[in-house]
A and B are shown apart, each in its own frame.
Chain A
Amino acid sequence: MKFLYSILMLGVFMSCSNDDEYASFAENEQLAFTVPKNFPEMVYDIESNPPTKFGFELGKKLFYDGKLSSNGFISCGFCHEQRFAFTHHGHQFSHGVNDLSGTRNTPSVANMAFLNEFSWDGATSHLDLFPIIPITNEVEMGETMTGVMTKIQADREYQRAFEAAFEEGGVSTENFLKALSQFMVMMISSNSKYDKYIRGEDGVQFTEKEAYGLDVFNEKCASCHATDLFTDSSFRNNGLPPNPSLNDLGRAEVSGKASDNYKFKVPSLRNVALTAPYMHDGRFGSLESVLNFYTRGMVDSPTLDETLRNGEELGIPLDDEEKEGLLAFLQTLTDDTFINDKRFSEY
């Protein structure tokens, strides 16, 4: 019995010495952050929460920790998987605790430092405050902030990690949210074939089809999927027929305005070839279906985006050649560097 106990104790000591990587705040250092040349201005106020080595590591640990949920299994990374550009692949709706599922498709977490509205309806306009939503949502993580903080406060490894990452406050809600943001702020996807082509790097060239697709995209899609983030961060109704079993009103759920009914945030199209299913409710399984929807699937409603009405016809006319070009172009937005970047991976 005593022998067993000593072995256990040994185990405890050994595991303690493992986390010596969080030496002390004195050894912490700021991480370099560069805005990619072809990106618009950053929105996130990086001065008030500059990413540091230990802050980022802590954010990553939290992102992949099931402790943040009521059943202890569902981490942020459970729904936001790196291989699929941090979306929940193969799930129309995200699965959370007790296998309850939500009513919305999981968007990609990439380039968050450049957005000013988060989630499909803009439920928050500050990245730091976003994690409160999944943590406290009963179908996602089903916890409370206080509950999560209590669990973390009791964990020695976390105590040390917080001390090393932040000069003041130790394990606090403020530092918890800051650490998660530091991790997400660093998650930049800017090395797709498209990026290299646009920045003229490594002699990367587009095929004829890809170049044609880019032209079609600029003419027919870029009014909403604007800038090299491929979103103008606005809320719009792109004519999807509402799903009667959900009747998700989108932006109107936040604003309470009937004029916002069925408007959703224009999603970024980065890594779009990896992020199926598509749209806020994940109704489309392929990009072909998305393009077919844009040409013939739209329904009219009072809040339909004006640019999608062209005379009698609704939608964006696209012939087969244009569709092929678009599909080829959308593939160029896949960023293998990002989805394989060890800095962001769970293991």
Chain B
Amino acid sequence: MKTIYKLLLPLFSIIILVGCSDDDNMQELTGEGIVKLSFDNAVGSDDLLLGSSGYTNSQNEVLTITRLNYIVSNFTLTNDKGEKFTYPKDDSYFVTSEETGETEISLTNIPAGRYVSVTFGIGVDQEKYLQGAEGQGTFLAKAEATNMMWAWQAGYKFLNFEGTFTSQSVTEPTNFKVHMGSHGSSLDNYKEVTLNLGTEALVSDEMTPIIHLVADANAILDGANKLSLSEQAVIMVSEEKSPKVAANVSGMFTVDHVHNGTGDTH
């Protein structure tokens, strides 16, 4: 038995070596690693600073943002060969919160590879919701602690965006609240986006890339759909407006850059 191994071993090594020489100018990526996604919240071209001086949008409304929390979920990474790796669904729900500084998420045990795009959802899909207690697991507590649960309806806020604003018609600083989620079984506001990474994100035993995404808070009200706070400052369960907010939010993300390396540097 042992002698067979002894004979086979060199043979295998040759095969492996030959296999490697095919892509000799490419690094061999093996094992699995962590992919970090950093959500850098911004307003337009500026960094988002909660509670700091007003920011003027294209509708001439001046916003002071005090809260920006959103749920991201159901991550899938696609590699250069077009193969998709879907992150285990039960572990694929995250709240990112500017207030608490929890804006980076780590996806672990990602198979080695060269990833070219990322797909994720904003919010919680109906399939997950309808799994009841079993499906929510510890995410419920997380959502409650970060102001992402609605109390009057047992559902999630996908986006919690709050602050004060002034405009030509509203001269005193006035609170605004934009809470977006699905409306019971009546309206599903869960959306998915796919973003090209621009640079390949390299994952292996040694390589832990950080994907920096920019989330432009300006797009929430001032994206493809224009929503005026002067007209309505509290947008929660509006059949007309909340799908527009959902569409805007799904358009607020871009990949800014990817860091390849050991994952220690940003």
Q: Which A residues fall within an 8 A CB radius of B?
A: 45, 48-49, 116-117, 121-130, 132-133, 136-138, 144-146, 149, 172-178, 181, 251, 253-258, 260
Contact = CB atoms under 8 A, between A and B. Distances in A.
Given A123-B154, A133-B152, A174 B184 contact: no
A129 B184 contact: no
B242 interface: yes
Contacts of A116: 185
Contacts of A133: 151-154
14 contacts: A124-B184, A129-B132, A133-B152, A137-B151, A145-B140, A146-B141, A146-B144, A146-B145, A149-B141, A173-B137, A178-B134, A254-B183, A255-B237, A257-B187
A121 B154 CA distance: 12
B132 A257 contact: no
Given A177-B132, A181-B133, A125 B239 contact: no
A256 B237 contact: yes
B136 interface: yes
Q: What are the 5 closest A-B residue pairs judged by CB atoms, nearest first? A: A128-B132, A255-B186, A177-B133, A256-B239, A124-B154
B142 to A, nearest CB: 10
Interface in B178-196: 183-187
Contacts of B152: 123, 133, 137, 253
Interface string B141-161: 100110001011111000000
B238 interface: yes
Contacts of B137: 172-174
Contact of A122 (B132, B149, B186): B186
A257 B185 CA distance: 12
Contacts of A129: 129, 132-133, 136, 154-155
Contacts of B185: 116-117, 122, 125
Main secondary structure of the interface of A (DSSP, over half): helix
B20 interface: no
Contact of A254 (B129, B136, B153): B153
Contact of A126 (B130, B145, B149, B239): B130
B239 A257 contact: yes
B232 interface: no
Contacts of B155: 123-124, 129
A3 B210 CA distance: 65
B138 interface: yes
Contacts of B184: 117, 121-125, 254-255
B100 interface: no
B3 interface: no
A132 B138 contact: no
Nearest to B131: A48
A125 B134 contact: no
A260 B131 CA distance: 26
A173 B183 contact: no
A63 to B, nearest CB: 15
Interface in B223-259: 237-240, 242
Contacts of A145: 140-141, 144, 149
B132 A172 contact: no
A128 B133 contact: yes
B239 A258 contact: yes
Contacts of B129: 125-126, 129
Contacts of B134: 48-49, 128, 174, 178
Contacts of A254: 153, 183-184, 186, 237
Contact of A255 (B138, B141, B239): B239
Nearest to B185: A125
Given A173-B140, A173-B141, A174-B138, A45 B132 contact: yes
B93 to A, nearest CB: 14
A136 B151 contact: yes
Chain B CB within 10 A, most for which of A45, A138, A173, A181: A173
Contact of B136 (A121, A144, A149, A173): A173
Contacts of B183: 254-256
